[in-house]
Structure 1
Amino acid sequence: MAHELGFRPSELSFFYRKCNFPFDLRENVRLPFTPQRKTIPEPPLRWGSGGRVVVTAKKSPIDGVSPELNKIASQKLDSAPARRRVRSAFMELQQQLDHCLFKMAPAGIKTQEWYECNSRGLNIFCKRWFPEPDVHIKGAVCFCHGYGDTCTFFFDGIARHIAASGYAVYAMDYPGFGLSEGLHGYIPNFDQLVDDVIEQYKKFKGRPELKGLPHFILGQSMGGAVTLKIHLKEPKLWDGVVLVAPMCKIADDVKPPEPVLKVLNLMSNVVPKAKLLPKIDLGELALRETKKRKLAVYNVISYDDRMRVKTAIELLKATDDIEKQVEKVSSPLLVLHGAADKVTDPKISRFLYEKASSKDKTLKLYEQGFHCILEGEPDERIFNVLNDIIHWLDSRCSST
């Protein structure tokens, strides 16, 4: 799901919270999110002598789920083995959810899941979707998911539809997210994460079944920032870039002031993994349809706790870096955004579209669309967005 640093001053306060903070962070700033399960109200944030007391919010039970499954879902998910156990317990139930991505998923799609140890010794979860054997493969699409998310929930339905149109679709969970190894929700270095993705996707691109085919990369929400950083590091790596509600710039009027950034930087060096930032549930702002919003809680391995301090700093740095280099974006580019998105600002996508040096670039804004235009909109809109992506891919395949 998605999540970002597209801010608007009047809607949410990310740093400010009515609690005993040791400094005043009353700034209206929003950082990446995953639609979250409602939690039992948290106790006040406390500061003790010599350190911080962090109390993790207790998750409330998921309606309609057995006590056994709720017990599994409520366990601590810091480690990858715990997340894998939870996903395994919920996998069958997830596939039966009343959502168009699942109910209308094309038949005959061949999927494969596996783990690969990367050069840093981390076990990375990988997945691929292939069309039926008699369908000609036009190209390959590699996916970059959003903050807190995974490639095993809503994206599974998205990938099946793209695969059915003749594409080999590949995805991975970043270290620390989904089923990949690493501390849950922790990004110690955004560039390192980008390098991890480049390493893995180069392996995918080198597979015999993809030889001679055009390769595209699709990034959603924070995954849009990952995708742009990949492109900026290796501009010739892809035949096209697709961005959905991307995180690529912080609006100037809500960028944290220097004193706040200095404090956060200091904290990130002292307690980088600490969950010190206020927790915000942005589900209502991300998924327009109430019925679909309620299904987001079944994404049980998403990271929905307070953001870790170092993660917040790394995301701020990443958007600053992208903003400084946006004119260097040169790949064929498709940017899609909900016009009513209150998580990432569609104006920022227009900024990207206008500044990018790409000669082949397209911007599509969807009227009344929220942040999750591929998951939380009315069924017709979801399939319109999917068809727009597939049509764009098809037209670039015929010209490569």
Structure 2
Amino acid sequence: MTQEGAQQAPVNFWGEHPATEAEYYASHGAEGESSYFTPPGASPRRLFTRAWRPAAAGGTPPRALVFMVHGYGNDISWTFQSTAVFLARSGFACFAADLPGHGRSHGLRAFVPALEPAVADLLAFFRSVKQREEHAGLPCFLFGESMGGAICLLIHLRTPPGEWTGAVLVAPMCRISDRIRPPWPLPQILTLVARFAPTLPIVPTADLIEKSVKVPAKRLVSARNPMRYNGRPRLGTVTELLRATDELGARLGEVSVPFLVVHGSADEVTDPAVSRALYEAAASKDKTLKMYDGMLHSMLFGEPDENIERVRGDILAWLNERCTPAATS
């Protein structure tokens, strides 16, 4: 490798020190592992999965399980881990999988022609974790960022009431923002062309890192993610996201799971107005919406550290309140 190549080679998202993931986890009071999961009857599809838990040296079992879903083009092995490690050191066992076509999971990069199989695969993985003996009786939360928030809502809408203790939705993609949605009649044209060439990466879009990450130095870190998809969106993926978010937009009133939505008021990738619409329309008796003035889409990595700590603190407080048994008289 040339000197220039060495300077450009990806490093860990937290920097050069500590040198390994295990050391990074340990320095934050957590431990982790990775593996592959093959959904029943789904061969040869495989999902790359990760788990983050409170460090065993602490001797305290996890307070709850948090099942996490990343956003479009992203994966679970780069900056996404920072939130999982934070939750693990705070007493939660976290589990996540790279979506099909993302990260180290099976499939053409960033090609999601149908969300239903992805939802089914994730649900199979999540349920396999929930069924482990050591997890019996623990509260179970969904956690989704951006497109992952939409997938969490789809999982909720396709599972029995009461299966989930709650859901944390971070800038959820309940509808693609008009600011990045292709203007009419381009969606209709794309849908037609996608029938014949769904994998073509030709859909024009804004630079998502530029629009998502506020801190310039953190943009560089995000861009160095070796597993991130940086090409143009594929036709089949875009038409499927348009279809799925249209479905969600029409079904907001059916959402009944307890939830917390956190969203930045300056988000230009997902629409804060739709998070407000979700809060107003949802049938959930326990629902909370927190809007953060001036924050962009990447609320848990791309903002100044003090903003990240504020959002993390609100998420942790919400989870803690729903893990603490109600006082009895």
TM (norm. structure 2) is: 0.89
Compared with structure 1, are the counterparts of its residues 308 and 69 closer, same or farther at alpha carbon in structure 2 (3 Å cutoff)? farther
- Which structure 2 residue ranges, 5 or more long, are not aligned? 18-22
Does the 8 Å CA contact 1:149/1:303 hold for their aligned counterparts? yes
How far did residue 266 of structure 1 move? 1.7
- Residue 168 of structure 1 is matched in structure 2 by 93
What pairs up with 1:267-282 in 2 under 5 angstroms?
A: 267-282=193-208
Does the 8 Å CA contact 2:179/2:269 hold for their aligned counterparts? no
How far did residue 158 of structure 1 move? 1.1
Matches of 2:232 and 2:132, distance apart in 1:
39
How far did residue 353 of structure 1 move? 0.6
1:221 and 2:138 matched: no
Does the 8 Å CA contact 2:203/2:232 hold for their aligned counterparts? yes
How far did residue 251 of structure 1 move? 5.7
- Residue 231 of structure 1 is matched in structure 2 by 156
Deviations 1:15-67 (A, max 9, x none): xxxxxxxxxxxxxxxxxxxxxxxxxxxxxxxxxxxxxxxxxxxxxxxxx9852
Partner of residue 75 from structure 2, selected from 144, 150, 175? 150
- Residue 307 of structure 1 is matched in structure 2 by 233
Matches of 1:379 and 1:154, distance apart in 2:
14
Report the more deviating stretch, 249-258 or 294-303: 249-258
How far did residue 104 of structure 1 move? 10
How far did residue 196 of structure 1 move? 1.3
Let me know the Cα RMSD of the aligned residues: 2.5
- Which structure 1 residue ranges, 5 or more long, are not aligned? 1-63, 74-89
- For 2:53, the aligned partner's letter is F
Segments of 4+ moved more than 4 angstroms: 102-106, 250-259
- Residue 131 of structure 2 is matched in structure 1 by 206
1:358 and 2:284 matched: yes
Does the 8 Å CA contact 2:171/2:261 hold for their aligned counterparts? yes
Task: Give the percent of matched residue pairs that are identical in Structure 1 and Structure 2.
Answer: 39
How far did residue 284 of structure 1 move? 2.4
- For 1:303, the aligned partner's letter is Y
How far did residue 103 of structure 1 move? 8.1
Q: Helix, strand or coil: the match of 1:187? A: coil
How far did residue 95 of structure 1 move? 4.2
Does the 8 Å CA contact 2:66/2:93 hold for their aligned counterparts? yes
How far did residue 351 of structure 1 move? 0.8
Matches of 1:253 and 1:153, distance apart in 2:
27
Larger relative contact order (CA 8 Å, sep ≥ 6): 1
- Residue 37 of structure 2 is matched in structure 1 by 116
Matches of 2:7 and 2:102, distance apart in 1:
21
- Residue 15 of structure 2 is matched in structure 1 by 96
What pairs up with 1:1-400 in 2 under 5 angstroms?
A: 66-67=4-5, 90=10, 93-96=12-15, 106-119=27-40, 120-121=42-43, 122-133=45-56, 134-236=59-161, 237-250=163-176, 259-399=185-325
Matches of 1:247 and 1:235, distance apart in 2:
23
How far did residue 339 of structure 1 move? 1.3
TM (norm. structure 1) is: 0.74
